[in-house]
Amino acid sequence: MALDDVSVELRRGQFTAIMGPSGSGKSTLMHCLAGLDSVTDGKVYIGDIDLTNLDDKALTELRRDRIGFVFQSFNLVPTLTAIENIRLPIDLAGGTPDKEWLDTVIDTIGLRDRLGHRPSELSGGQQQRVACARAMASRPQVIFADEPTGNLDSKSSAEVLSFLRKSVDETSQTVVMVTHDANAASFADRALFLGDGRIVDDLDNPTAARVLDRMKRLDVAPATG
């Protein structure tokens, strides 16, 4: 069992990091929270919607309209340009994007001059920034980021993380990020520690040093992926 008796409330407008070594269940937790995986027992709510009661169609719409995703890699559809990728959830819903908001998002990621490029023409960091912009474009209730900096060098990582931070600070975006990187976790307002499918600790305003220390104390070596 990947998760066992996990009860957690993620606060609106907060940047939460879910930490833990490989196999600790952090990805599973995120997948359950995001409606990608189903729980065998218990309930999952986003806002006041009970995910466990939704069928595939409703879950799809939920992901499209209320959730933003940033994955570790392969985040973008290779045949679509950057801007098309950003607009993808909105276009799938058949809606018209809030132009002003879209402009804000694009300016924040700072890739206005590369919007017509395809993912293969963008660097890894640029691709992740486009993915973040896509996650934000539909003003979701929550963004789930799964190791968003896992494949990036430190400079690109910092860019992506500060972008997520900024979205929380400036637009009260709710962000949940799975990571095993203490430095990445230091950008968050709160760090949850998972071990063997249970929540083992909960830190507010984590710093890299405190997170590292915490992980050491848990007697868990930093995982490698």
Partner 1 sequence: MFRLALKGALARRLRLALTATSIIIGVAFVAGTFVLTDTLNATFDSIFSSAEKGVAVVVRGQEAFKVSGFDSGPTDERALVPAAVLQHVRTVPGVRDAVGVASGYAQVVYQGKAVVNSGGAPNLGMAWVGHQPENPLRIVKGREPAAAGEIVIDQQSADKFNIPVGAHVEVIVSGKTVPATVVGFVKFGNSTLGSATITAFVPSQAQQLLIGTQGSWSTVQASAEPGVSQPVLRARVESALASANLADGVVVQTEQDYAADQADQVKSQLKFFNVLLLVFAFISVFVAVFIIFNTFTVLVAQRTRELALLRALGASRRQVLSSVVLEAALVGLGSGIVGIGLGVLVGAGLRSLLGVFGGSFDTVSLQLRPRTVIVSLLVGGLATVLASVVPAFRATRIPPVAAMRDDFTLPTPTLRRRTRLGVGLLVIGAALLVTGVNNGKALLIGLGALAMFRGVVSLSPVLSQPIVGGLGRALPRFWGTPGRLARENALRNPRRTAATASALMIGIALTTTMSVLAASITTSANAQIDKSVGADFIITANHFAPVSETVATKAAQVPGVGAVTSFRAGAMKVGGSTTQVQGVTPNTVADTLRLTVQSGSVDNISKGSVLVSEQVAKDKHLHVGSNIPVEFALTGKQSLTVEGVYAKNPIAGDYLIGLDTYNANFRNRLDQVVGVKAASGANLGQVHADLTKALSNNPSLKIQDQSEFKRSQKQQINQILAFVLALLVLSLLIAWLGIVNTLALSVFERTREIGLLRAVGMATRQVRRMVRLEAVVIALFGALLGVALGIGYGAALVQALHSQGIASTSFPVGQLIGYLFIGMIAGVTAALWPARRAAKLDVLQAIASE
Residues that bind partner 1 (CB under 8 A): 31, 36-37, 56-57, 60-61, 63-65, 69, 71, 74-80, 84, 88-89, 91-94, 134
CA atoms within 13 A on the CB side of 99: 0
Structure tokens at 224: 């490698």
Contact 15, 185 (CB under 8 A): no
Geometric angle at alpha carbon 44, from 41 and 49, rounded to 5°: 135
Comparison of 47 and 216: residue with beta carbon closer to partner 1? 47
Contact 16, 189 (CB under 8 A): yes
Least CB distance to partner 1 at residue 206 (A): 27
DSSP designation for 133: H
Comparison of 60 and 162: residue with beta carbon closer to partner 1? 60
Least CB distance to partner 1 at residue 173 (A): 16
Least CB distance to partner 1 at residue 195 (A): 21
Structure tokens at 153: 């060098």
Comparison of 83 and 182: residue with beta carbon closer to partner 1? 83
Least CB distance to partner 1 at residue 49 (A): 15
Rounded distance between C-alpha atoms, residue 30 and residue 25, angstroms: 9
